[in-house]
Amino acid sequence: MKSVLLSVILVMVFQSDPAANPVMPTLEGFAKLFFPAASCNPASDQHCIYQPANMEYICDKLVEKNKLKYLEGSTEPFTGICMLRYAGGQPMMETPYVNGLPEGIEKAWYENGNLMSEISLKAGKFNGKVIYYYEDGKKKSEETYLDDYKFGRAVHYFENGQKESEGVYDNCRETGQWIYYHPNGQKKAEGTFTEGIESGEWIYWDEKGNRVNSMPE
């Protein structure tokens, strides 16, 4: 039924006289309405295939039932892209859904257009790389998650781009060797964690690289 309705609308566009109705949208305009996030443009590509999973929807049109998201009026769990925008129209957050749950790379942006975060999601949980950025576009942190828990290597950065710390997480707890840095790039501390608790020998340095007896502020 939807395909028939779309065909009727497109026929009306082709048969309309643009001079008689100057506000009538072009085929490209209808393409943007019906295929706003598609990977190809039906106005210029005769072989373009409409993929509902690539449709962009406003997030407030989604409702939750039994922990799954549905498009208002639909009985099928939502598959597509949920988009939030700033008042000026620029993207704020884009979340892909598969069968009612967030799945894929969720992106968020600052109002200036720079990326704020890229989060890998699977079945509604953090799975894979999770990256955050400062407002000027520099990377703030990069971590790896497994089912909402930090697992694997993590790196955090100062606003000037220098590393702040690096190490490994196991079930959200620091494990193994970790290194901390001063904003100028000099090492600040190096040692080992066991289940989130400092263990073994730790070494500390001041901003000039001199050894000190305790963690510098």
pLDDT tens string 51-75: 344 456 678 889 999 999 999 999 9
Q: Facing residues of 119 across strands?
A: 106, 130
Tally Cβ neighbours within 10 Å of residue 24.
14
One domain for residues 40 and 57: no
120: phi then psi, degrees, rounded to nearest 5: -80, 125
pLDDT tens string 109-164: 999 999 999 999 999 999 999 999 999 999 999 999 999 999 999 999 999 999 99
pLDDT bracket for residue 27 (50, 70, 90): very low
Residues 6+ apart with CB under 8 A from 2: none
One domain for residues 58 and 97: yes
One domain for residues 113 and 40: no
Q: Facing residues of 198 across strands?
A: 193
Domain end, chosen from 147, 178, 208, is at: 147
Q: What percent of the chain is modeled with pLDDT above 70?
A: 74
Residue 139's nearest CA partner among 111, 160, 166 is: 160
Return d(Cα 37, Cα 44) in angstroms, integer: 15
Give me the CATH number covering residue 68: 2.20.110
Domain end, chosen from 147, 165, 184, is at: 147
pLDDT for 186 equals 97
One domain for residues 36 and 91: no
Return d(Cα 178, Cα 163) in angstroms, integer: 12
Q: Calculate the average pLDDT of the chain.
A: 79
The whole-model pTM stands at 0.72
The answer to whether 81 and 114 have CB atoms below 8 angstroms apart is: no
Three-state DSSP state, 59: helix
Please count the structural domains in the chain.
Answer: 3
One domain for residues 57 and 143: yes
Q: Residue 35 belongs to what domain range?
A: 1-45
Q: How far is CA 65 from the centre of its chain?
A: 24
One domain for residues 89 and 130: yes
Return d(Cα 150, Cα 166) in angstroms, integer: 13
Give me the CATH number covering residue 181: 2.20.110.10
